[in-house]
Amino acid sequence: MSFETAVAARLLADSDIGSIVTTRVYWQLRPQGSALPAIELSIVTDSRPQNYKRIERRRWTRVQAVAVATDAGTAVALREAVIAALLPPAEAGGVSFGRAQDIFVLPRLNTGAPGTDTEFREIVDLRLWHDA
C-alpha cells in the first residue's frame, strides 16, 4: 500500500471522522461540486534521507490535511478528529507510522465568488514518520 493510501485508510478507519465525512477524503483535489464536509490531503515535502548505500526506508513526510465544512463548528470538530487519528503511532496497509510531529493549525475562510457558499477550512500541517 502506498503512503497516500495508508494515510487515507487511517483517516477513514476512525469512527469520529467517518461519522462526519463518510468516505470524502481526497488527495490533491476535491472534485468540483462534491459534498461537504470533506478532508483534502496534500504532500508538502517528502524527505528522502540516505546513508552511503541507499535511501533510508524510515523517513518523514510533511502533510497538510484540510478539514472543509459549511460551518465553523463542523470544520473544527473535523480538524480535531484528524489530529487525534494521525497523532499516535499506527499501522495501516503494511505501512508503519510513528508519532506525528510538528503539528500546526491554520484556520481559513473561503468566501468564494459572490453567490457561492462559504467554506470553513481548518488546515492541519504535520510531519508523519513512516516506512513506506
Euclidean distance between CA atoms 93 and 97, whole angstroms? 11
Sign of the dihedral defined by the CA atoms of residues 87, 92, 95, 96, in that order: positive
Residues whose CB is less than 8 angstroms from the CB of residue 85 and which lie 6 or more positions away in sequence, other chains included: 10, 11, 13, 14, 16, 17
* % of the chain beyond a pLDDT of 90: 73
pLDDT digits (tens, 9 = 90+) for 82-112: 999 999 999 998 999 999 999 999 998 876 6
**Across 110-117, average pLDDT:** 64
The amino acid that residue 103 corresponds to is: I
- The residues, ordered by sequence, that sit 6+ positions from 82 with a Cβ below 8 Å of its Cβ are 11, 17, 39, 65, 67, 124
Say what the pLDDT of residue 114 is: 56
Domains defined for the chain, CATH in brackets: 3-130 (3.30.2000)
pLDDT at 71 over 80: yes
Task: Count the helices and strands in the chain (H runs, E runs).
Answer: 3, 7
pLDDT recorded at residue 115:
56
pLDDT digit string, tens, across residues 10-44: 999 999 999 999 999 999 989 988 999 999 999 99
Do 108 and 76 form a contact (C-beta atoms < 8 A)?
no
